[in-house]
Amino acid sequence: MHLQNYIPSILLVILVTYTTITTCAVVNPVVEPPMIKEINFEKNLEKNAKRLKLKNHKLAIGEMAMEPPVRKQGEPKYFQEPGVAAAGHYDGRYYIGFVTDEERQRTLTHLVRAWLQWTQSQGIETWLAHGTLLGWWWNNRILPWDTDLDVQVSEATLKSMAENMNMTTWTYNFEEDNFQRDYLLDINPYWTNRLRDPRCDKTRGYFL
């Protein structure tokens, strides 16, 4: 698998939250609305810390298509957009142009499946957020105009990911749609930074 396979990936944005959480499984498009259940994060964290010692992962660092863009000293901005209008949900490292609406929807549909498959396989708790959650609730679909997906994990999980799983890839294969990709987990080194500075990333990690 070469990194070209990430192109034209659209980003899955991982955000941090502190709220008590709902889990949902979205892989099957005809699932019932989610059960809301309380999760004991402390307990699960211990469990996950062991599991997070990498099952199915290979390092992808050496395969980067190009070096990450240079950041100004002291400026806490890690992810770089392509600098093209309306391309804010593409990653500057892999952007080669806009994809069609159809391709975008297909890409996003598989992206969320891959994310859920991967987190499930690793015993990681995650949940949908924002427009992604609304789309699933209303129609079991990604909102047709959406250009990204929003998911969240707890701060403790994100810490574990940053320490144990950064820059690992996950191979996803959906034969019925002849769709195969390698996905890369890229965690912002400034993920603990909560400043609301426009120069900072609001995003803590990408799955792309």
Q: Contact residues for ligand NAG (CB under 6 A)?
A: 61, 162, 166-167, 187, 189
Rounded CA separation 44/128 (Å): 19
Q: Of the two residues 61 and 70, which places its CB atom closer to ligand NAG in the complex?
A: 61
To ligand NAG, the closest distance from the beta carbon of 88 in angstroms equals: 20
Q: Of the two residues 49 and 99, which places its CB atom closer to ligand NAG in the complex?
A: 49
Element (H, E) at 143: none
Which residue, among 16, 18, 20, 17, has the nearest Cα to 39 in the 3D structure?
20
To ligand NAG, the closest distance from the beta carbon of 76 in angstroms equals: 11
To ligand NAG, the closest distance from the beta carbon of 203 in angstroms equals: 12
Q: Of the two residues 87 and 162, which places its CB atom closer to ligand NAG in the complex?
A: 162
Which residue, among 194, 168, 163, has the nearest Cα to 76 in the 3D structure?
194
Q: Of the two residues 136 and 207, which places its CB atom closer to ligand NAG in the complex?
A: 207
Q: Strand pairing of 12-17 and 149-154?
A: parallel
To ligand NAG, the closest distance from the beta carbon of 192 in angstroms equals: 9
What's the N-to-C CA distance of the chain in angstroms? 14
